[in-house]
Amino acid sequence: MSTAALAPARPGKVLADLLPASRVRDLALVLGGAALTGLAAQIAVPVPGSPVPVTGQTFAALLVGTTLGVRRGVSSLAVYALAGLAGVPWFAGGGSGVSVSFGYILGMILATAAVGALARRGADRSVPRMAGTMLLGEAVIYLVGVPYLAFAADMSASAAIAAGLTPFLIGDLVKAVLAMGLLPTAWKLVKE
């Protein structure tokens, strides 16, 4: 077996790279990623006992990162966060500004960077690697969001975990399963 066969595939592309390159393309992708995240945040279901709702926002943010890559993905989530801070009502359930759940948005920016870097290395091309990529992205979001929730809502660590992590684990598993089918299938369709 050659060493090339042992090395992981490094395709170097994300799905957005398949579009003709231009600054206009990149700007449209960044703004589109921010808008998709804002739209998905409107799918918000309150969780009893938690100030944090279940939303489609995290799924959208992770898809933005994997399809756009690090630079464009982080730019999209930065635009999303800054516009929401400036008053655009596109945080969860039409909110804007800083809230106890703003740490999750900060976590999404970091998670977008992580999943974008992994996608550039081919993690979005197979079911098992995509599952791991999504679960890692979710973990990054929680690593920032839960401590921020504890601080902002003056909760103990265990209360923040109970209110800001535990109720969301099943939904995160569903999101990972969706992504496991979606992105590897997209790559097969484009035959790249």
pTM exceeding 0.85? yes
Closest Cα to residue 124, out of 113, 114, 116?
Answer: 116
CA distance 87 to 184: 36
11 has a pLDDT exceeding 90: no
Res 10 pLDDT > 50: no
Q: ∠ CA(119), CA(123), CA(128), 5° rounding?
A: 150
Take residue 58 and report the two structure tokens written for it: 């995290």
Provide the pLDDT for residue 164. 95
Question: Taking 90 as the threshold, does the pLDDT of residue 189 lie above it?
Answer: no
Residue with tokens 């974008």: 116
Rounded mean pLDDT of 157-185?
Answer: 89
For the chain, give the mean pLDDT.
Answer: 90
Mean pLDDT in residue range 146-166: 97
Q: What is the identity of the amino acid at 60?
A: A
Q: Which two tokens stand for residue 140?
A: 């990054």
Q: Where are the alpha helices (DSSP H) in 3-152?
A: 3-6, 23-40, 57-85, 102-120, 127-152
Contact status, residue 124 vs residue 189, Cβ threshold 8 Å:
no
Residue 80 has pLDDT above 70, yes or no: yes
Say yes or no to pLDDT of 45 above 70. yes
Residue 60 has pLDDT above 50, yes or no: yes
Gap between the Cα atoms of 113 and 130, Å rounded: 15
- pLDDT-based confidence at residue 121 (cuts at 50, 70, 90): very high
Amino acid at 102: F
